[in-house]
Structure 1
Amino acid sequence: MTTASAAASFHHPSLNRAQSISILAGAAVMLSLAMGMRQSLGLFMQPITHDIGISAADFALALAVQNIVWGMTQPFAGALVDRFGTRLIAVFGGALYAAALLVTAYASAAWMVTLGAGVMIGVALSCTTSGIAAKIAAKVVRPERRSLAFGLVSAAGSIGTFVAAPLAQGVIQASGWQMAMFAFVALAAVMLPAALFGGRADDVPVDAKAGGSGESMRATLADAGRHGGYIVMASAFFVCGLQLVFLTTHLPTFLADCGANPMLSAQALAVIGAFNVFGSWLFGWLGDRYHKHWLLGLIYLLRSVAIALYFSMPVSNASTLIFAAIMGTLWLGVIPLVNGLVAHIFGIRYLATLTGIAFFSHQVGSFLGAWGGGVIYDALGSYTLAWQLAAGIGAAAGIMQLFMNTRPTERVLNQQAALTAAAE
């Protein structure tokens, strides 16, 4: 295949290359800013807790609430997107994100931090991040290039951390944490036009090859509840959330306890974001060529090894940045693989709903990673037990993931057979 034909085969037949790129870019910018700010909130823990007189556990609880609210609302946001399209839901999410940051900026008590950084950002994330972006990408590209498209959008989501973390730390050091929150409000405002661009995917007709276009949501949910592979994948997704949110929430405090320069935390988060660009693209590309469940299992296992090695060794600038690079490569690479598996098994008609349900499991893990890490730290004065649990559970999840069932549902198989017969 020539370069020109390969490029042409990437996008939906009703779109030209420029239209496809602009829609995907809108989804990517929206996802990038939403995730970048969310993953940088751990930098605010020490200044906020010191300034308004709350404990580390109080702040960790707010982020834990954010994650559980995100997980609880993601299936409903996904169902609304599957029924009504992405545009209005994404614009609402961007506006709510900006409002949440304002509430947090003016917080004077723990409950206000929980409301703004917790509940409101949690709902906003369900309307602006991977589930919505995946639905946009699935409609814009051809089925055979879908995992790569998911990977490219997820990769763009990492650039937000690369920008947001140094911006937040720099403004915190120069002008205080409230000014850093206001800077984040400005970034949230950029999400609104990005959501409108990405929302043009609503006007793209569903490709018949995408699968799953004829069944009802109730029938699809019943299929998902009976599919052992989907249940295993959703269960393993719990560990993904636990590991990642534990790191984004507690790595800055861990490094401060080790006597590291405060900027090292921001640099580590930025390195995670930079390497995640490569990792998301890499696993999206690999997902179009190799078994997605094997790649998922490998990610979980490698993360666990990296966590165990880093936290059991003396901490230095070099070890921290190397660890960040490894974790960044393995960070959001799960997203194109999970989205690709759901699309492969069930089709894309209810992609946002089904990935949203699996994501709830992810966010239960995120809740425990954020809040549980804070509880362990307050009780024991160190993160040793927390990282040991994160590594051990991750290894178990990786082994489970390697053996999941990836057979498509009978409805999808019958639809594919009918399309093949019609083509002949």
Structure 2
Amino acid sequence: MTQSSPSAMRSVAAASPVLILVAGCLIAMLTFGPRASSGFFLLPMSNTYGWGRDVFGLALALQNLLWGLGSPFAGAIADRFGTVRVLCVGALIYASGIALMSYASTPGLLHLSAGVLVGFGLSACSFNLVLAAFGKLLPDRWKSIGFGAGTAAGSFGQFLFPPLATGLIARVGWQETLLVFAVVLLLVLPLSLALATRGDAGTRQAASLPNQSIAGALREAFAHPSYVLLILGFFTCGFQLAFVTVHMPAYLADKGITADIGAATLALIGLFNMIGSLTAGALASRFSRKWMLAVIYAGRGVAIAAFILMPITPLSCLIFGAALGLLWLSTVPPTSGLVLLMFGARYMAMLYGFAFFS
């Protein structure tokens, strides 16, 4: 490949914010969907191999930990060397983990595939990198809506993939379903080309700022009290989301709720999350982002408490899915907007990655 090809591609992408948005949103959808469907493989895999739920739960806990742990490092590499390389490597690792998961006949192999490989793969190709690329590539007037659209696209993956997973598992089996998901993830490779960035000197903001090292950016960020508080808030967000995603299907089954209602509940979370994320993205450019986050976190706590205290019925599950969906990832646009506002786009992937890790 000649030296002019990447420059030409960057020029096309820079002139095409719609192309950037569409490609980034598709990546967010494709990478978030299989992960959001993980809970539907718990029962068939546990029944097939005679495992307790703790085996599968540990694998997904490891996945979440490594997804978060890898995010700042993947972000730092993307900030330094460009987004495309990281997205492609992450997609290949993610797809390999999903494919290997279909052959995971021992707890150790499940922890390696669903835990280690999927976790690290997600850290390098999911919407955290997409949002950082939006912050670097999109015009200023597009950024808030871009953050909302990217988050909503991930939510659409959560809306689309759980019913797809349950349908495929019922028709072709859980192993074949995992292989289908692995192949689908390879679509990230061509889509990532639209998000080409030039690394640490590739933004207009970076060109006008003194040369700042990664270590200097980290010292500045963690000396900023608001950034530390932002990270602590995201810890609460991640705990709630991961707990519901992993344990909701099995919890509802224990309460006598059918798998179809469980899938519909998660699908409603994804559907209404699109509305919530797009709304949050639009409002983030007009209202105080910190107060938006306070309202969202408080509302989520009320919704979860009400669901636990109410009798579990199909209707209450669907209402809970819709209510929680509105508040699900609507924290992301104001959070990413605050990171961009405080520190600029140059090291956004890394700094947002630390928030995501929490």
TM-score interval (norm. to shorter)? over 0.9
For residue 107 of structure 1, the aligned residue among 95, 104, 109 is 104
Is the counterpart of residue 282 in structure 1 residue 262 in structure 2?
no
Counterpart-to-counterpart distance in 2, 1:210 and 1:301: 40
What is the CA deviation profile of residues 191-217 of structure 1, one whole-angstrom value per residue up to 9, with x for unaligned ones?
22222233x344995234998664322
Alignment of 1:319-330 (within 5 A): 319-330=316-327
| Match in the other structure for 1:419 | none
| Match in the other structure for 2:94 | 97
| Match in the other structure for 1:71 | 68
Structure 1 residues 15 and 176: alpha-carbon distance in aligned structure 2, compared to 1, 3 A threshold:
closer
For residue 50 of structure 1, the aligned residue among 42, 47, 51 is 47
Amino acid of the residue matched to residue 62 of structure 2?
A: V
Counterpart-to-counterpart distance in 2, 1:288 and 1:282: 11
| Match in the other structure for 1:137 | 134
Counterpart-to-counterpart distance in 2, 1:175 and 1:53: 21
Percent of residue pairs bearing the same amino acid type: 38
How far did 1:241 drift?
Answer: 0.7
How far did 1:360 drift?
Answer: 1.5
Is the counterpart of residue 169 in structure 1 residue 191 in structure 2?
no
Structure 1 residues 210 and 180: alpha-carbon distance in aligned structure 2, compared to 1, 3 A threshold:
farther
Counterpart-to-counterpart distance in 2, 1:213 and 1:172: 54
Counterpart-to-counterpart distance in 2, 1:30 and 1:319: 32
Counterpart-to-counterpart distance in 1, 2:88 and 2:255: 42
| Match in the other structure for 2:234 | 237
Counterpart-to-counterpart distance in 1, 2:107 and 2:233: 32
Is the counterpart of residue 343 in structure 1 residue 340 in structure 2?
yes
CA contact (8 A) 1:212 1:348 kept: no
How far did 1:51 drift?
Answer: 0.6
How far did 1:183 drift?
Answer: 1.9
1:107 is paired with a residue of what secondary structure? coil
CA contact (8 A) 2:13 2:194 kept: no
What is the CA deviation profile of residues 15-72 of structure 1, one whole-angstrom value per residue up to 9, with x for unaligned ones?
6897211122212111111111111101111111111121101100000000111111
Amino acid of the residue matched to residue 139 of structure 1?
A: K
Q: How many residues align?
A: 348
| Match in the other structure for 2:289 | 292
Amino acid of the residue matched to residue 97 of structure 1?
A: Y
- Of residues 135-144 and 38-47 in structure 1, the stretch that sits farther from structure 2 once superposed is 135-144
Alignment of 1:78-227 (within 5 A): 78-198=75-195, 200-202=196-198, 205-208=202-205, 214-227=211-224
| Match in the other structure for 2:260 | 263
Counterpart-to-counterpart distance in 2, 1:215 and 1:107: 45
CA contact (8 A) 2:17 2:139 kept: no
2:184 is paired with a residue of what secondary structure? helix
What is the CA deviation profile of residues 107-130 of structure 1, one whole-angstrom value per residue up to 9, with x for unaligned ones?
101111111111001111111112
- Of residues 17-26 and 54-63 in structure 1, the stretch that sits farther from structure 2 once superposed is 17-26
What is the CA deviation profile of residues 165-187 of structure 1, one whole-angstrom value per residue up to 9, with x for unaligned ones?
11110111222211211221122
Counterpart-to-counterpart distance in 2, 1:287 and 1:333: 10
Unaligned runs of 5+ in 1: 1-13, 362-424
| Match in the other structure for 1:21 | 18
What is the CA deviation profile of residues 209-260 of structure 1, one whole-angstrom value per residue up to 9, with x for unaligned ones?
9986643222221111211111111011111011011100011011101111
CA contact (8 A) 1:211 1:349 kept: no
Counterpart-to-counterpart distance in 2, 1:253 and 1:273: 18
How far did 1:96 drift?
Answer: 1.1
Structure 1 residues 91 and 258: alpha-carbon distance in aligned structure 2, compared to 1, 3 A threshold:
same
Amino acid of the residue matched to residue 349 of structure 2?
A: A
CA contact (8 A) 1:49 1:56 kept: yes
How far did 1:144 drift?
Answer: 4.4
Alignment of 1:377-388 (within 5 A): none
Structure 1 residues 208 and 309: alpha-carbon distance in aligned structure 2, compared to 1, 3 A threshold:
same
What is the CA deviation profile of residues 359-383 of structure 1, one whole-angstrom value per residue up to 9, with x for unaligned ones?
111xxxxxxxxxxxxxxxxxxxxxx
How far did 1:143 drift?
Answer: 2.8
Structure 1 residues 16 and 175: alpha-carbon distance in aligned structure 2, compared to 1, 3 A threshold:
closer
CA contact (8 A) 1:213 1:348 kept: no
CA contact (8 A) 2:205 2:346 kept: no
Amino acid of the residue matched to residue 286 of structure 1?
A: L
Unaligned runs of 5+ in 2: 1-10
Amino acid of the residue matched to residue 125 of structure 2?
A: T
Counterpart-to-counterpart distance in 1, 2:137 and 2:220: 26
Counterpart-to-counterpart distance in 2, 1:278 and 1:209: 33
Counterpart-to-counterpart distance in 1, 2:15 and 2:184: 25
Amino acid of the residue matched to residue 204 of structure 2?
A: D
Counterpart-to-counterpart distance in 2, 1:140 and 1:16: 8
